[in-house]
């Protein structure tokens, strides 16, 4: 890597490192909520589980990727505030200080899409913007004291729309047509609106969100190129396998919202929530990491069959959690599934680092590339 590229990469690494640390704390918080005894670095840790995972980890990485794409200094304010705000919320300072920083970070993240739209007025950009606005609403009402379980539809839709729009960009390779794009936008707009409506009318809104979510899954299964690339070798097949697994968990979540309704606790709530954030979101991160991280950090992450190991462990762990822990009501199954998922996520990070180091070289920084996925 040349000197100029190195100068650009190090500031990004300074945002990736706290995001990774917040991921670890988020996993610890989740294990604490399941009754597993672990050292507590903050008394607020368990109650901030959702914020750590969604805003501190995923939100920071998504907004960092957008900042890299925009190549504008102001755009880095979003990941910086999301990471800093989440850390601040863990400290003895008033929690509202951290919440406010996160809300401002989400506002800047929404502005990132406004800037991207000015360059690329595409349906995918509009859907991502809808997701960011939904996440911003979640952050604002969290500042107002709405408890985390009530925010799950908003937080889920924020990430679901962001990822779905990414898939739409790649689906354009197969030319789904303007009608298909308009259908996905209509589903996304309705899903965002219903998620916001769930704050005041959850009994009606959450089941409707479930129907819309199943519609999004049907769209993805119909138009995503993963159905074709799963038959290809190497990285395209790996990405496609992860995508199809993620869509399966998203269907589980849609059914959970449809049948379980506006629950904020209990087995259906637990299964639905983790089907979204572990089964769909984390599996999608595992799918796209070999493509996105080289663009963000300028490191080479070649495909290796070892990447399947943490992906498989995550799926099995989530099955144990949902079937043995939630459906059968066994605490041991819940805990075993939680520990397995944490090991899978951390193991994926270790695997990526090892594969990258074994590659033995860094790639010159270039604009974000795409592979068939």
Q: What's the pLDDT tens digit per position in 327-352? A: 999 999 999 999 999 999 999 999 99
**C-alpha to C-alpha distance for 128 and 158, rounded to whole angstroms:** 8
Asked whether 33 and 148 are in contact (CB, 8 A), the reply is no
Asked whether 309 and 240 are in contact (CB, 8 A), the reply is no
**C-alpha to C-alpha distance for 164 and 90, rounded to whole angstroms:** 31
Helices (H) and strands (E) in the chain, counts: 15, 0
10 Å CB burial of residue 264 (0-12, 13-18, 19+) is: middle
| 243: Cα within 13 Å, side-chain hemisphere | 28
pLDDT for 111 equals 98
The helix/strand/coil state of 304 is coil
Asked whether 285 and 345 are in contact (CB, 8 A), the reply is no
A 10 A CB-CB count for 57 gives 28
**C-alpha to C-alpha distance for 260 and 55, rounded to whole angstroms:** 26
Give the residue from 240, 210, 242 showing the smallest Cα distance to 225: 240
pLDDT for 368 equals 42
Residue 360 predicted with pLDDT over 70: no
pLDDT for 2 equals 52
Q: What's the pLDDT tens digit per position in 244-285? A: 999 999 999 999 999 998 889 999 999 999 999 999 999 999
In Å, the largest CA–CA distance within the chain is 57
| 142: Cα within 13 Å, side-chain hemisphere | 33
φ and ψ at residue 94, rounded to 5 degrees:
-55, 130
pLDDT for 7 equals 61
Give the residue from 345, 230, 342, 358 showing the smallest Cα distance to 286: 345
The helix/strand/coil state of 362 is strand
Give the residue from 57, 78, 93 showing the smallest Cα distance to 285: 57
Q: What's the pLDDT tens digit per position in 154-193? A: 999 999 999 999 999 877 666 678 999 999 999 999 999 9
Residue 188 Cα to chain centre, angstroms: 16
Contacts of 17 (CB under 8 A, 6+ apart): none
**C-alpha to C-alpha distance for 289 and 11, rounded to whole angstroms:** 19
Q: What's the pLDDT tens digit per position in 288-323? A: 999 888 888 888 889 999 999 999 999 999 999 999
- Span between the terminal Cα atoms of the chain, in Å: 27
Asked whether 153 and 103 are in contact (CB, 8 A), the reply is no
CA-angle at 313, arms to 149 and 281, nearest 5°: 40
Contacts of 236 (CB under 8 A, 6+ apart): 229, 371, 372, 373
The helix/strand/coil state of 35 is coil
Give the residue from 61, 65, 111, 69 showing the smallest Cα distance to 86: 61
Residue 370 predicted with pLDDT over 60: no
Length of the chain: 373
Contacts of 326 (CB under 8 A, 6+ apart): 267, 268, 270, 271, 334
Residue 314 Cα to chain centre, angstroms: 15
Residue 3 predicted with pLDDT over 70: no
Asked whether 21 and 13 are in contact (CB, 8 A), the reply is no
pTM: 0.93
pLDDT for 371 equals 38
Asked whether 65 and 82 are in contact (CB, 8 A), the reply is no
Asked whether 109 and 44 are in contact (CB, 8 A), the reply is no
């Amino acid at each position: 890597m040349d000197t100029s590229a190195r100068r650009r990469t190090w500031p990004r690494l300074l945002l990736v490192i706290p995001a990774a640390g917040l991921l670890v704390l988020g996993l610890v918080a989740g294990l604490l909520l399941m009754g597993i005894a672990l050292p507590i670095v903050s008394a607020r840790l368990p109650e901030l589980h959702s914020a750590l995972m969604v805003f501190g980890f995923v939100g920071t990485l998504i907004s960092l990727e957008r900042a890299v794409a925009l190549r504008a200094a102001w755009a880095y304010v979003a990941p910086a505030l999301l990471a800093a705000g989440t850390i601040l919320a863990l400290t003895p300072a008033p929690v509202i200080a951290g919440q406010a920083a996160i809300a401002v970070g989400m506002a800047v993240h929404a502005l990132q899409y406004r800037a991207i739209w000015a360059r690329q007025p595409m349906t995918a950009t509009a859907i991502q913007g809808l997701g960011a606005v939904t996440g911003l609403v979640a952050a604002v009402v969290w500042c107002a004291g709405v408890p985390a379980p009530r925010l799950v539809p908003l937080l889920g839709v924020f990430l679901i729309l962001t990822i779905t729009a990414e898939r739409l960009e790649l689906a354009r390779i197969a030319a789904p047509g303007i009608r298909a794009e308009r259908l996905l936008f209509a589903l996304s707009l309705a899903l965002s609106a219903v998620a916001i409506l769930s704050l005041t009318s959850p009994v009606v809104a959450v089941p409707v969100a479930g129907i819309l979510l199943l519609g999004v899954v049907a769209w993805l299964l119909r138009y995503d190129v993963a159905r074709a690339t799963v038959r290809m070798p190497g990285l395209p097949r790996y990405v496609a396998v992860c995508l199809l697994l993620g869509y399966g968990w998203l269907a589980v979540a849609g059914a959970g919202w449809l049948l379980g309704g506006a629950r904020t606790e209990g087995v259906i709530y637990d299964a639905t929530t983790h089907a979204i954030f572990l089964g769909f979101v984390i599996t999608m991160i595992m799918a796209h990491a070999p493509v996105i991280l080289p663009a963000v950090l300028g490191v080479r992450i070649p495909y290796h069959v070892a990447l399947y190991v943490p992906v498989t462990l995550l799926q099995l762990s989530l099955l144990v959690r949902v079937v043995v822990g939630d459906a059968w009501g066994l605490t041991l199954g819940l805990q075993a599934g939680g520990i397995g998922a944490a090991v899978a996520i951390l193991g994926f990070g270790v695997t990526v680092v090892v594969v990258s180091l074994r590659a033995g070289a860094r790639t010159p920084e270039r604009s974000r590339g795409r592979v068939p996925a």
